[in-house]
Amino acid sequence: MTVVATERMSDRLSFGRSRSGSCVCVGLDPDPTKMPIDDVFEFNRAIIDATQDLVAAYKPQYAFYEAMGIKGLEALEKTIGHIRDVAPHAFVLADAKRGDIGNTAEAYAKAMFEFWDVDACTVYAYQGWESISPFLAYRDRGVFVVCRTSNPSSIEVQDITDARTGKMVYEIVAEQVVSRSDGGNVGLVIGATFPNELASLRAKFPDVPFLIPGVGAQGGDATETARLGGEAILINSSRGIIYASQSKSDFDQSARAAVEQLRAEIALGRG
């Protein structure tokens, strides 16, 4: 397996975007109730082979693999290996949403970057900087910190206003995380379903990488997202791509067509 050696996560992201001419990230979320074939790795392999020249990144959602037990984790390992083999330019982002402190956080970081060998993973900052810093000890890897998520009920916590600063929780998370990093190994998760917040955070942080879920099945608009998000973005779509068809005969080519459509919508926002 060949991985391009870089000093920072942002360099690796830029390489993936420039080689693919794309900011599309494909979420690999295998659901046995929706997959047209039974073998998880073969399903992922077909999707990857059909889209690898069109996308900047792949994002396996760990919950789906963990739910299948050992067989699911074996499929995940083979999937990451296959991405490295056939799409060495592609950024591999583990959507694992880890969040802990001390030696537990260190163990999570070791698992992500030494065993799974991913370029970055998603993390929570609820326990403060101690939950993030162990991951940043790996200088050529990085994290995307959950900040403004795409689900409707996120406002129940993320919109709470701090009486001291007058800022909402998601704004405080973004400011504290970015202020304590060099900008090269930390990104933010910002949902496409909140375009005003996306625009506001991009204005404050013009160069910070954003992972933007929520387009497609969740209702976010890809064209508007591309217009507001700037250059340093990954726009993720999972269900809208990998389940574009549930036919055994064409699910992979339908996934490719869905990526092409998403790229076209993004291009309109780049205008």
- Residues taking part in catalysis: 97
Neighbours of 103 (CB within 10 A): 10
Tokens 């080689």 belong to residue: 19
Number of H helices and number of E strands within the chain?
12, 8
Residue whose C-alpha is closest to residue 99's, from 126, 119, 138, 63? 126
Would you say 170 and 210 are in contact if contact means Cβ atoms under 8 Å apart?
A: no
Tokens 């993936």 belong to residue: 16
Neighbours of 203 (CB within 10 A): 10
Q: Distance from CA of residue 100 to its chain's centroid? A: 20
Pairing outcome for strands 120-123 and 91-98: parallel
Distance CA 191, CA 234 (A): 11
The DSSP secondary-structure symbol of 184 reads: S
Token duo for residue 192: 């496409």
Would you say 211 and 188 are in contact if contact means Cβ atoms under 8 Å apart?
A: yes
Token duo for residue 267: 């291009």
Distance CA 230, CA 267 (A): 12
